[in-house]
Amino acid sequence: MTNQLALPLGATPVPGGTRFAVRSTAERVELCLFEGPDEHRIAMTRDGDVWSVIVPGTDHLYGYRAHGRYDPARNLWFDPAKLLVDPYALELDRPFVQSPRLATYGENTADIVPRARMIAAPAASPAPPLFRPGGLIYELNVRGFTMRHPAIPPEQRGTVAALAHPAVVDHLRKLGVAAVELMPITAAIDERHLPPLGLRNAWGYNPVVPMALCPERVPGGVAELVATVATLREAGIGVILDLVFNHMGESDVQGGTLSFRGLDPDAYAHAPDGTLINDAGTGNTLDASRPSVHAMILDTLRHFARAGVDGFRFDLAPVLARGPGFDAHAPIFAEIAADPILSTRIMIAEPWDIGPGGYQLGHFPEHWLEWNDKYRDQVRRFWRGDGRSGDLATRIAGSADVFTGPASRSVNFVAAHDGFTLADLTAYAQRHNHANGEDNRDGHGDEVSWNHGQEGQTDDPAISAARIRSVRAMLAALFLSRGTPMLTAGDEFGRSQRGNNNGYAQDNETTWLDWGNRDEALEDFVAALSAFRRETPLDWTDWLDKAEWRNLSGDAMTPEDWEGDGFALHLPVGDESLILRFDHKRGVSAIRGRMLES
């Protein structure tokens, strides 16, 4: 028997045709080739748990069917009526659609399940990443960012190609963006409760297979991604992909059979009694401790790295190292570090999931960056008025209580795609998610936010002024902090979701950026902050050794001052003195030959 994990999986051109290979624990697997509505089934040969066959030609639309026992109580889901997508598919001919038929045994799904399309995978050795920790990460949703942009042609809106438009590039350069972090652009499926409500998943965190690009967001496939990455690189902007390896869109036991479940159901972690483990909150969690899943994750990262991206952000990243508990020394980390391609990429963890011991901030490898929710909440609390100066100072200084080493691994943010927008967290004390169809039960119920005396929109100029002052103070703190700042697209000009802090189901004007009503003064302020940060090397590893922490009167800090309303940070920069003042009542100011007021 050959080494199964050494066999190339997916569709690979070989002399005389194409070799198709897929991993499956089924009793029999068929390759299905399509020409229009016609389906041609070909028996495959088994070698261990890898099934393969060589067929003539290199231009195919294809899928699989797997035969075997169907017993969901024993985690057996083999149903030859289900057309199954190749877990190694790179492109699909159509989007996924949700349907009860996907979960009904014996229902043929060939007419509603996408077929994989053969393409030539990127083969070039990728250039080194442009992005370096400390640069500005700009998190964006491709559809939300481009759907209402007036300069982008209508036919291009909602696509990755739109990010290469000169108007977009100009905006990114104005802000000093070092890398765009694209929310998932792989093919996803709506959660099954959304279509009856007339809703769609706007975020994409429900993929079905890990490498296949979304036919709607990336209609030009891998070539479109490669071209857009190249254009952004020419402008000095890197690309980071947000990837989901914690679950797949087949969901819980009531979900559909689309790929892994119908081919290799043990790809999902399960308890000894066969119950699916739910560390991702979706009813199913990928078992990254299994060699085949482990290998698939690494193959996916290599594929996208060869397309030229700078790195990856991992959604619910502890799942990568579960088996079943989180292991900070899991083999996958060492393999990434030793890989000649992946070791050069930027790795960013969202360091929590909902499983046992799921909060792992600070426990990822020393060369990884991590989203820092302590930064988010404590910066918000300080400007809300119920936080400590000492906590804010710790976050400004790089969160040394969390991250050890000469450079901070903290990804600092005050708002992200998940939760209130930056403007909304100063205008709403409560979530307003009724449009999501879950009776306002979804989303965070206890966000650190404050409405300045009135919930929602206001015509009161005093309240409006107080809100913008709070927004500017938080932005200034973000750009003046040690670590890597992250800004979510639209927060630089006051985007609002009208209090919806879980916009995943709003693929509409709730989440589409309103470019026509931007707060251009706020946008200019953010651009100035970003320029100020680039001109002032706040990420020097030794700057804390030279810093003097003083109270707002200019005197040395006392224990009482660390509980108070603010502080001033004095830094020598060349022959000048840089003074950063963080004053709860007045906002933030930086003095170095000029004043930059929040």
Residues marked active site are found at 315, 350
Order of strands across the sheet that contains 28-35: 38-43, 28-35, 61-67, 116-117, 91-92
Q: Distance between the two ends of the chain, CA-based, in angstroms?
A: 67
Q: d(Cα 371, Cα 354) in Å, to the nearest integer?
A: 16
| Residue 291 burial class via C-beta count within 10 angstroms: exposed 0-12, middle 13-18, buried 19 and up | exposed
CB-based burial, 561-597: b 16+ in 10 Å, e otherwise? bbeebbbbbbbeeeeeebbbbbbbeebbbbbbeeebe
Residues 6+ apart with CB under 8 A from 348: 181, 240, 311, 312, 313, 314, 368, 369, 370, 371, 411
Q: d(Cα 512, Cα 389) in Å, to the nearest integer?
A: 36
User: Which of 316, 84, 92 has the alpha carbon at shortest distance from 205?
Assistant: 316
Position of tokens 């209609």? Answer: 219
Residue 17: phi and psi, rounded to 5, are 160, -135
Pair 133, 196: CB distance under 8 Å: no
Pair 287, 102: CB distance under 8 Å: no
Q: d(Cα 422, Cα 496) in Å, to the nearest integer?
A: 8
Pair 257, 107: CB distance under 8 Å: no
Residues 6+ apart with CB under 8 A from 509: 148
Six-digit token pair at 474?
Answer: 């938080």
Residue 372: phi and psi, rounded to 5, are -115, 95
| Residue 485 burial class via C-beta count within 10 angstroms: exposed 0-12, middle 13-18, buried 19 and up | buried
| Residues found in the chain | 598
Six-digit token pair at 439?
Answer: 């009776």
Residues 6+ apart with CB under 8 A from 540: none
